[in-house]
Structure 1
Amino acid sequence: MAALYLISYDLRKVRNYNQLLNTLRDWGCISPLESVWVGHMNGAATTIRDLLAQHMDADDGLLVVQIQSPGQWATMQVKNNAADWFRKHVAA
C-alpha cells in the first residue's frame, strides 16, 4: 500500500522545472502551497528523494516526509481544495 508523503523543495537557480512538476502531477500529487506537494506514493522517502532529485540542480533543497494517518493538520488559505484533500486522506 502506498504511503502518504509531503514534499517541499527550494529551487535556488533560475531553470525550467517543468519535468519536476510533471513528475509530481503524474504521481497524483496535489500542491496546496507553492513548492509544497502531498500525495500517496510507493517506496521509501529516500527513493522518492532520489527520483525527484534527477529533475533538480545540485544546490536545490528537497524535503520528503511521510505523513501518518490519522494525523493532526490545519490549513489557512491553501489552494486547489487542499483542505478537502487533507480531510479525506489525513482525517484526524
Structure 2
Amino acid sequence: MVFLITYDLRKPGRDYASLYDAIKDIGDYNQPLESVWLVANNSMDVFKVTTHLKKYMDKSDLIFVVDITESNCQGWLPKSSWEWLTKYR
C-alpha cells in the first residue's frame, strides 16, 4: 500500500525529529512537499499509521492519512516523486 501522510504541526519550537523518524521507519518513503509524505507499507492500514504517528505529535497537531495505492492522482511534484510513486502503483 502507498499512504499519503500530511499534517499541520502547531506547537512552535517543538522538536519534531522523532515524528519524521517515525514516518521514515514505516517503510520506503518520499517527501514531495514540506508537510506531505508518501510511504509504502504492506503490513499497516491507515488507522495503524495514524495511531502510530500521533504518539510523536502534540495534542494540538493535526494529521491526515490516506491509502492512495489505487487512486488516480495528478499534480506538479518533483520528477523523483512521480518516479517513486510509479514504483509502487
Return the TM-score normalized by structure 2: 0.84
The structural deviation recorded for 1:79 is 4.1
**Distance in 2, Cα, partners of 1:44 & 1:22:** 19
Determine what percentage of the aligned residue pairs are the same residue. 30
8 Å Cα contact 1:30/1:80 also seen in 2? no
Task: Map 1:35-74 to 2 at 5 A.
Answer: 35-41=35-41, 42-69=43-70, 71-74=71-74
Q: 1:88 — aligned with what?
A: 87
Gaps of 5+ in 1: none
Return the TM-score normalized by structure 1: 0.81
Deviation above 3 Å: which 4+ runs of structure 1?
none
Q: How large is the Cα RMSD of the aligned pairs?
A: 1.6
- Considering Cα pairs closer than 8 Å and 6+ residues apart, tell me whether 1 or 2 has the greater RCO: 2
Q: 2:2 — aligned with what?
A: 4
**Distance in 2, Cα, partners of 1:80 & 1:23:** 25
Structure richer in helix, relative to its length:
2
**Distance in 1, Cα, partners of 2:44 & 2:86:** 23
- Would you say how many aligned residue pairs link Structure 1 and Structure 2? 86
Gaps of 5+ in 2: none
The structural deviation recorded for 1:39 is 1.4
